[in-house]
Amino acid sequence: DSDRMNIAIDGPAGAGKSTVARKVAEQLGYVYIDTGAMYRAVTLCAQRAGISADEPVKLAELARSLKIDLEPGEHGQSVYVNGDNVTALIRSREVTLQVSHVAANETVREVLGVMQRHLAARKGVVMDGRDIGSHVLPNAELKIFLTASVKERALRRHREMADNQTITLEQLESEIAERDRLDEQREISPLICASDAVVMDSTGMTIDEVIDAIVKLSRTKLAEAK
């Protein structure tokens, strides 16, 4: 219906996409969908099955065999694979280091892309990822490309870590930069800013400022559409 829209939020790691997308969805009464969690879930399953990112055929077969469910949970979204709750496991460092390699697989992207479009078939979705505005939901009524300097993003991620002694800020920064590079340079639906996206640099912004700006933009778009 014309009272609801789909909102795509893309950008590099640590830009604030999931934090902001979840809150925007809450304020608008929309459904939040974290597509990165889906790529992480496939990566976790590949690791469990001993399948590496350089085995494209096995990886493709695995992706087709998984049933991934996203459910709104107490602390954001819970992720299930074939009924198994993997919410915490998909955030491990092992998964984080591998996920961009798995996400470069064509079939993995196809399978997850179909699921994502299906989830957004009824308007009223805030979806975050890398290729949502450019590829998955090219007709999303509002597209945001959220970014921040790599230093700022590394600092944010470092602050989040309970055991931040195990990895230095410098190492985290270089791992984030490497993931940006892989995501930007892959052949199939790389991380790019869609031509009709609103670019927001959150480097000097608070979370609430980013949320307010996106909610305002969405209200303007809805008013325009009437």
Structure tokens at 51: 């399948």
Is 11 labeled as ligand-binding?
yes
Kindly list the distances between the CA atom of residue 159 and the CA atoms of 4, 162, 164, in Å, as whole numbers in the listed order. 35, 8, 7
Say how far apart CA 25 and CA 135 lie, in whole Å.
21
Structure tokens at 185: 């340079």
Which C-beta is closer to ligand CDP: that of 160 or that of 225?
160
Kindly list the distances between the CA atom of residue 18 and the CA atoms of 9, 14, 28, 106, 137, in Å, as whole numbers in the listed order. 9, 9, 15, 24, 17
Is 133 labeled as ligand-binding?
no
Structure tokens at 22: 């979840």
Q: Work out how close the CB of 210 gets to ligand CDP at its nearest, in angstroms, rounded to a whole number.
A: 5
Which C-beta is closer to ligand CDP: that of 2 or that of 139?
139
Q: Work out how close the CB of 138 gets to ligand CDP at its nearest, in angstroms, rounded to a whole number.
A: 13
Which C-beta is closer to ligand CDP: that of 203 or that of 225?
203
Q: Work out how close the CB of 226 gets to ligand CDP at its nearest, in angstroms, rounded to a whole number.
A: 30
Q: Is 104 helix (H, G, I), strand (E, B) or coil?
A: coil
List interacting residues with ligand CDP (CB under 6 A): 11, 13-19, 35-36, 39-40, 99-100, 103, 129-132, 156, 160, 179, 183, 202, 205-207, 210
Is 124 labeled as ligand-binding?
no
Is 16 labeled as ligand-binding?
yes
Q: Work out how close the CB of 16 gets to ligand CDP at its nearest, in angstroms, rounded to a whole number.
A: 3
Say how far apart CA 69 and CA 58 lie, in whole Å.
22
Is 72 labeled as ligand-binding?
no
User: Which residues are part of a known binding site for ATP?
Assistant: 11-19
